[in-house]
Amino acid sequence: MGKSRLEAFSDGVLAIITTIMVLEMKVPRGSDFVALAPLLPVFLSHVLSFVYVGIYWNNHHHLRHAARHVAGGVLWANLNPLFWLSLLPFATGWMGENHFAALPCAAYGFVLLMAAIAYSTCCKAASSPSRARTPCSSALSVRTGRASSRRSST
C-alpha cells in the first residue's frame, strides 16, 4: 500500500485532536480582559498541547517521508501513538479546568509519556540494524540500500 493513505489518516486524526481541544475552550461571559483571567489555565493547557501535537505531526511527517510503502504491521503500529494522542484533549481539558492540580497533571504527563513510548518504539524499530525482525520495521521500508537489497534477495 502507498504511504499517502497512512499520512492522510494520521493528519486527519491529528487535525481532529486539535479541533476538539479548541472546542473545549469556553467563551467568556464578559467583554473585557478581566473576563479572560479565569480562562488562563485552560488557554495555557491548550497552547502546551497544541505544541505537543505539532511536534508529533512534524515528526510523523519526517518518519513517513522516509518510507517507500507501508504494510499492515506499520498501520497497526501507527495507531498506537494516535490512540494516546487522542486522549490529549481530555487530559488537556481536565488539567486546565482544575488549574494544574496534581492528579490531572499526572494524567496529562502519563498520556504524553505513553505517546512518546509508542512513537519512539516505532521509530527505533524502523531504524535499527535488525529491523527485519520487528513488526513495525518489517512493514516500513526505509530509503536505505539495506532495505532494498533485502527485498531483492528474497
pLDDT averaged over 10-residue windows placed end to end, the chain, 154 residues = 82 96 91 91 95 94 76 78 96 95 98 95 58 48 48 47
pLDDT at 77: 82
pLDDT at 54: 96
101: left (phi over 0), alpha (psi -120 to 50) or beta: beta
pLDDT at 104: 97
pTM score > 0.85 for this model? no
For residue 63 the three cell numbers come to 518518519
Q: Are residues 119 and 56 in contact, defined by beta-carbon separation less than 8 angstroms?
A: yes
CA 27, CA 85: separation in Å to the nearest integer? 25
Residue partners of 112: CB distance under 8 A and separation at least 6: 52, 88
pLDDT at 69: 65
Q: Across-strand partners of 67?
A: 142
